[in-house]
Amino acid sequence: MNELLNITRALADESRVRALLALRQGELCVCQLTELFGAAPSTVSKHLSVLYQAGLVESRKEGRWMYYQLPGGKPPAAVRRALAWLQQSLAEDPQILRDRQKLKLILQQDPVDLCKRQCQK
């Protein structure tokens, strides 16, 4: 039951749901998600930490930067079902479609340059 409660708590925030759906494109740096949401890096990191605690994302650190992706391998059934439900339920949501378009532009930028620019703000 705890696993399910952690997942539902993690999904109870629009930004976290948007982050999960953005990660369908593959691994993203915190800087890329920060650019997508227009939020402070600390806010985005906190959201990603909640998703990580629930087992909905995996992370890796490279130098100063953190990268996140959807779970690889065979995640627990509850995680697989939650991610599939989100994708089916929100595939045509206007905000998700806007995020998808904006993410295409963000992915054309060098992530190292993007992160450096954000650190200068």
Set out the domains of the chain in order of their start, with CATH numbers: 2-116 (1.10.10.10)
| pTM metric for this prediction | 0.91
pLDDT along the chain (121 residues), means of 10: 88 96 94 93 94 96 90 91 94 95 93 76 60
pLDDT at position 118 is: 74
Q: What is the 3-state secondary structure (H, E, C) of the chain?
A: CHHHHHHHHHCCCHHHHHHHHHHHHCCEEHHHHHHHHCCCHHHHHHHHHHHHHCCCCEEEEECCEEEEECCCCCCCHHHHHHHHHHHHHHCCCHHHHHHHHHHHHHHCCCHHHHHHHHHHC
Q: What is the pLDDT of residue 120?
A: 65
